[in-house]
Amino acid sequence: MSNPLVIFDCDGTLVDSQHSICTAMVRAFEAVKLPPPGRMDILSVVGLSLPHAVARLLPDADGAFHDHVSDHYKSAFHAMRGEGAVSEPLYDGIAELIAALDKQGWLLGVATGKSDRGLNLCLTHHGIIDRFVTLQTADRHPSKPHPSMIAQAMADAGAIPETTVMIGDTSFDIEMAVNAGVRGIGVAWGYHPPEILRESGAVAVAETSDELARYIGLTR
Can you say how many angstroms the Cα of residue 56 is from the centroid of all Cα atoms in its chain?
A: 17
Residues 6+ apart with CB under 8 A from 142: 49, 148
| C-alpha to C-alpha distances, 118 to 64, 92, 114, nearest whole angstrom | 23, 21, 6
Nearest to 86 by CA among 76, 94, 95: 76
Across the beta sheet with 107-111, what order do the strands follow?
A: 134-136, 107-111, 5-8, 164-168, 183-187, 204-206
Distance CA 163, CA 150 (A): 12
Known catalytic residue at 9: yes
Known catalytic residue at 16: no
Catalytic residues: 9, 11
